[in-house]
Amino acid sequence: MLLMKNKTVLLLLGLCVLFLSACNDEDGNLKDVDTSKWEIMDAQDCNGVAFSLVPCTDDEVPCNDFSEDQAVNFMLTITNNLDVPITIMETDIHPVGGMDWALVSVTDEIGNLKTGLYTPHGVFAKMFSVDIYPGEVYSVKSNYTKTLAWHKWPSAKVPVTTDDPRYNWDGRPYVTKGLYKGVAKAGIQIYERVVDGDLVSAKKLFVANVDLAVNFVVR
């Protein structure tokens, strides 16, 4: 009986050692990740309208190397390189892959979906349009009047605070250690903003098939 107990204890100790070794290996692998050669953003030109996706800190500093106590934010920029003003309407932004309500999602390094990221206050409330004039850059970030807003993956150490229950993070995964991709994939209808006297209308130009992905690590 004593021999069996000793064997059981040794077996449990062995399992603990294996578990701790696996954890240390994972942390060690992440510790050795060199992000210095990674692109800090992904960019794409769609018929003269350029899109880019940039991971950022809460202070809007571009970053691809985070700790577990930091939130991971994503900023989408839209640049009008055409010679006419354009309009983008919220009703004509259609995410593909990931989650149909999330313009930006997080996947693991091989593409498995981790979570979609809420856009605070309204990206799919079907309430707004934005006009972008030739040469102008529109940053899709926190702006409560024209809100494609920040796409935030929150840290459990910095709880999400919101007065709107639609954007509670309860039951969704918080930031955890690992290698990830931020992904923005959507069909976005681009309109020309047409002014005729006092009348303003929108003329369909094309659908921009946006497909952006940027690597980042959480240690």
pLDDT at 152: 82
Q: Are residues 26 and 69 in the same domain?
A: no
pLDDT at 126: 45
Residue whose C-alpha is closest to residue 91's, from 21, 16, 148? 148
Q: Are residues 92 and 7 in the same domain?
A: no
Site of tokens 């003329």: 203
DSSP letters along 160-202, please? ---S-GGG--TTSPPP-SEEEEEEEEEEEEEEEEEEETTEEEE
Q: Is 122 left (phi over 0), alpha (psi -120 to 50) or beta?
A: left
Q: Are residues 49 and 105 in the same domain?
A: yes
Sort 73 into a burial class: Cβ within 10 Å, 0-12 / 13-18 / 19+: buried
| Polymer length in residues for the chain | 219
pLDDT at 139: 81
Cβ-contact 215, 180 below 8 angstroms: yes
Q: Are residues 65 and 149 in the same domain?
A: yes
- The pTM (predicted TM-score) of the whole model is 0.78
Sort 72 into a burial class: Cβ within 10 Å, 0-12 / 13-18 / 19+: buried
pLDDT at 181: 95
pLDDT at 173: 86
- Say which residues have a Cβ less than 8 Å from residue 55's Cβ, sequence separation at least 6: 40, 62, 63, 64, 66, 72, 73, 74, 182, 214, 216
Q: Are residues 4 and 79 in the same domain?
A: no
pLDDT tens per residue, the chain (219 residues)?
544 545 454 444 444 444 434 444 455 588 888 898 899 999 999 999 999 999 998 888 999 999 999 989 888 889 999 999 999 987 788 888 766 667 888 999 898 999 888 654 444 444 568 899 999 998 876 433 333 445 788 888 876 666 666 566 767 788 999 999 999 999 999 999 999 999 999 999 999 999 999 999 999
pLDDT at 150: 54
Q: Which domain holds residue 7?
A: 1-32
Q: Are residues 6 and 90 in the same domain?
A: no
